[in-house]
Amino acid sequence: MRYTTIESPLGELLLHGNRFVLHGLAMQTGRKPRTVRPGWKREPTAFAEVETQLHEYFSGERTSFDLELEPRGTPFQHRVWQALRQIPYGETMR
């Protein structure tokens, strides 16, 4: 597993996955920052495209992402992530 951290308007973000797909993105501020696991290798360039697209998103230049994703989580988490993808850019839901 590869990982890197980047700065964002939300604070530090931890990106992790293999060289081809992103498995997770975690905000490192707050009550439950993600811990880098033993055996993970820091590789800043592994997620260059993810970092580029995130910076474009935060600067208002991008409204959607074109990334290879393989999120890891529980079945409930996968259902939540799928529901979140249905919310159009710039809108909020109740």
Give 30-58 pLDDT, tens digit per residue: 888 888 999 999 998 889 999 999 999 99
Nearest to 8 by CA among 55, 48, 42, 44: 55
Q: What is the pLDDT of residue 57?
A: 94
pTM comes to: 0.83
Q: What is the pLDDT of residue 29?
A: 87
Neighbours of 53 (CB within 10 A): 17
Q: What is the pLDDT of residue 52?
A: 96
State yes or no: pLDDT of 19 exceeds 80: no
What's the one-letter identity of residue 39?
A: G
Sheet strands side by side (includes 2-8): 22-27, 11-17, 2-8, 41-42
Cα–Cα distance, 83 to 45 (Å, whole number): 31
Q: What is the pLDDT of residue 31?
A: 84
Are 13 and 36 in contact by the 8 Å Cβ rule? The answer is: no
Beta bridge partners of 13: 6, 27
